[in-house]
Amino acid sequence: MPTANVFHNQNSRSLFCAEIGDYDPDDYKLVAEVSNNKDQFSDDHDFLEYVYERTNSTFRYWGENKGVNDFTGKNRSTSVGDVIELNGSKYMVSSVGFEKLTSQNCPHIVA
């Protein structure tokens, strides 16, 4: 069963506009774990999209969505600059899609 951890940026200076090179794990708080017992995803990108969708409030608070373990109670939706950890890799939400955090593009990631 695929599972991902969702971390929200807590740094008010870079909230909603963090860039991949600015990633500092001390600025992030684990807010949720998202799982799905259906192995319906063809690749990691599809599951990242699913996690993003599940941690956004549309018709109700996202913490009430099936498959979401909300660790914080009421929290904002996942947005640009937040991080999703999947299969040991971290991905930053960008304005379009996700950018993988690597030792080449982020000094806080150890190869």
Instruction: Tell how far CA 27 is from the center of its chain.
Output: 13
Report the distance separating Cα 9 and Cα 42, nearest Å: 28
Sheet of 3-9, strand order: 68-70, 28-35, 3-9, 83-86, 89-93, 98-101
So where are the chain's domains?
A: 3-101
pTM comes to 0.87
pLDDT in tens, 10-42: 876 655 556 666 788 888 999 999 998 676 777
Report the distance separating Cα 55 and Cα 5, nearest Å: 11
Report the distance separating Cα 76 and Cα 89, nearest Å: 23
pLDDT in tens, 80-106: 889 999 988 999 998 889 999 887 877
